[in-house]
Amino acid sequence: MRSFTLGDFDFALPAKLIAQHPAAERSGSRLLDGTQLQPVDRGFRELPGLLRAGDLMVFNDTRVVKARLFGEKPTGGKLELLIERVLRDCDVVAHMKVSKKPALGTQLKMVGGFTATLTGRWPQADGPLYRFTLSDEPYLLMQRHGHVPLPPYISHPDSAADESRYQTVFAEHPGAVAAPTAALHFDHEMLSQLDSLGIRRAMVTLHVGAGTFQPVKTENIAEHRMHSERYAIAPATLQAIEETRQRGGRIVAVGTTSVRTLESWALSGEAQGDTSIFITPGFRFQFTDLLLTNFHLPRSTLMMMVSALAGYDHVMALYRHAIAQRYRFFSYGDAMLLQRQP
């Protein structure tokens, strides 16, 4: 089997192809059909015609929280927190952006009138995450004073429009700091159409962390330390997957987060927990037949995942086509449908 390095997943992307805003309508994006030998340019509204009655679409129903908070140190230095995870009571885990890290025990004054006290690192002493105790209930504070945690490649400040559009129409369980972006294309009309065609739906929950944007820094990709995210699969979804398999239907993962959830369950046998699964070419998929996904960052773990599913050469050819045809990239961009290689 071919040995891959980080450079194999690089490509030149014109900055003007990075979508800064969503399409006017959720289902108004383009769809690159990559299930054939040659790419086919479609509109997203054509997706139901590419599926079959009896297929099961698996969506991630996590809800993005307004996890970006601003404040200052006692010295007056400005800082930013990105809440990655709520632990218990008022304890949270967060990324901290600041010129000089404050000492343990420092009480930070946050915009909105509350405080955040630095209590340590989490989970490792040398990791990128910090543990804080907030002065009130974390989700309440984020809802009142937080900002939508738009990805780093989106240049404008968050707005009321982002609060609506950087969220799926079926988002339920709060805890994500990044949206399951492939599912942003679905509106209620499309979901109703899928139902009418006998295409089933099921939900998993994976709280997407900021690590999804973490660059891979090692040329030897096996040395990369993958971030951890929480997931859960409800009994009804487990049953739907089993019934789909028995009837010969296909499992269609909507987004890479659904893939991470399904394949983590396949490997561990655990329907809930933390996963740091790292999917690279050579991985054997057990519960993903098709994948609907957006276009991903160069040199990213997500490029490695889609290459593992649909084949490296095929995926890179699709990306060259997408760039030539001026598809819109990343979270607010267009979509692509892939099929698992034999």
The Cα–Cα gap between 329 and 239 comes to 35
What is the pLDDT of the chain when averaged over all its residues? 96
Mutual orientation of helices 312-324 and 301-310 as an angle, nearest 10°?
110
Q: Is the pLDDT of residue 15 over 80?
A: yes
In this predicted model, what pLDDT tens digit does every residue of 67-84 receive, in sequence order? 999 999 999 999 999 999
Closest by CA position to 176, among listed 262, 85, 94, 90:
85
Which segments within 192-269 are labelled E, that is strand?
200-206, 229-233, 251-254
Tell me which H or E stretch contains 255: none
Which segments within 222-302 are labelled E, that is strand?
229-233, 251-254, 272-275, 290-294
276-294 mean pLDDT? 97
3-state secondary structure of 214: coil
Q: The whole model's pTM is what?
A: 0.96
pLDDT attached to residue 342: 86
pLDDT attached to residue 216: 92
Reported as a pLDDT band with limits 50, 70 and 90, residue 138 is: very high
69: left (phi over 0), alpha (psi -120 to 50) or beta: beta
Q: Which domains, ranges and CATH numbers included, belong to the chain? A: 6-64+162-339 (3.40.1780.10), 68-145 (2.40.10)
The Cα–Cα gap between 200 and 48 comes to 11
Give percent of the chain above pLDDT 90. 94
253-282 mean pLDDT? 97
Reported as a pLDDT band with limits 50, 70 and 90, residue 127 is: confident
Taken as a whole, the chain contains a residue count of: 342
Residues 280 and 309 sit within 8 Å (Cβ to Cβ): no
The Cα–Cα gap between 8 and 303 comes to 10
Q: Is the pLDDT of residue 311 over 90?
A: yes
Task: Specify burial of residue 173 (Cβ count, 10 A radius: 0-12, 13-18, 19+).
Answer: middle
pLDDT attached to residue 211: 83
Reported as a pLDDT band with limits 50, 70 and 90, residue 128 is: confident
What angle (nearest 5°) sits at the alpha carbon of residue 265, between those of residues 260 and 268?
Answer: 115
> Radius of gyration (Cα) for the chain, nearest Å?
20
Q: Is the pLDDT of residue 125 over 90?
A: no
Reported as a pLDDT band with limits 50, 70 and 90, residue 213 is: confident
In this predicted model, what pLDDT tens digit does every residue of 143-192 receive, in sequence order? 999 999 999 999 999 999 999 999 999 999 999 999 999 999 999 999 99
What angle (nearest 5°) sits at the alpha carbon of residue 210, between those of residues 171 and 28?
Answer: 45
The Cα–Cα gap between 149 and 124 comes to 24
The Cα–Cα gap between 312 and 314 comes to 5
